[in-house]
Amino acid sequence: EKMNSTMSEEPDALSVVNQLRDLAADPLNRRAIVQDQGCLPGLILFLDHPSPPVVHSALLALRYLAECRANREKMKSELGMMLSLQNVIQKTTTPGETKLLASEVYDILQSSNMSDMDNVNEMNYRRRKAQFFLGSTNKRAKTVVLHIDGLDDSSRRNLCEEALLKIKGVISFTFQMAVQRCVVRIRSDLKAEALATAIASTKVMKAQQVVKSESGEEMLVPFQDTPVEVEQNTDLPEYLPEDESPTKEQDKAVSRVGSHPEGAASWLSTAANFLSRSFYW
């Protein structure tokens, strides 16, 4: 009887991978997760999971872990990592957002040994790799830069995150708090107005689009005031944004709230135990 109660409390794959993703979202946990014996191999195995939300969530966790430069070499050389990422990208049944996310992780790790190059070259290199690797899929994503009035502290940032997470077609986003900006990667069939509608729904922030004029100057373009119907994102786990922008480093000084490395460490061992048991089907 005792055995049964233990079995029913066993966490499922999605809740474990979501926990890892949430831990990886905190920069203070990223080194520990990659150093842990069981977590990285477990996340790689999750990339082959039959459930699309599990795969997407595992990719988000890896995307966060790859934000930490010191993790990249170890991640890249981990058995099965690059191969599993390629499989996700090449599998015809993989959803579009997931393919794009997998290619993003692949490119970051692939260029990990180029640390002596400056950011601009590295970004161009990644982009070329992505185009070669993704082929037509890459054309299905676009980048929208938003200037957000009222984006001036971490609670506003959280509101903004929540609003963007609800939109189907958002792939990833990066905040540049110092300049009140958010760089959003979206599927090309999603209208940028939908982002503005979602941000306006917070009632305390308003978004304008940053565009470049022909002479290369940046201009702010207000969105139309007519709200756009936003399709809610139901089939994928939330996307949490990366905390380190490749273009601007100003907001690095903004400290993150609620980091509990001790709690993370104890949870990691639980996750690792689960991973080591659950993959021997």
User: How high is the pLDDT of residue 73?
Assistant: 93
Q: What is the pLDDT of residues 29-51, one digit of tens each?
A: 899 999 988 889 899 999 999 99
Please name the amino acid found at residue 48. Answer: D
Domains of the chain, each with CATH number or no CATH: 11-110 (1.25.10.10), 139-220 (3.30.70.100)
pLDDT digits (tens, 9 = 90+) for 115-165: 545 555 655 655 555 555 444 445 577 889 999 999 988 888 888 888 887
- The tokens of 30 are what? 């990223």
Higher-scoring residue by pLDDT: 247, 74: 74
DSSP string across 212-249: E-TTS-EEEEEPPSSPPPPPB--SSPPPPPBSS-SS--
- pLDDT value of position 272: 64
Does residue 167 have a pLDDT over 70? Answer: yes
Per the structure block, which two tokens stand in for 14?
Answer: 């999605």
The SS3 call for residue 94 is coil
CB 43 within 8 A of CB 268: no
Asked whether 169 and 190 are in contact (CB, 8 A), the reply is: yes
pTM: 0.52
Contacts of 77 (CB under 8 A, 6+ apart): none
Structure tokens at 91: 């599998």
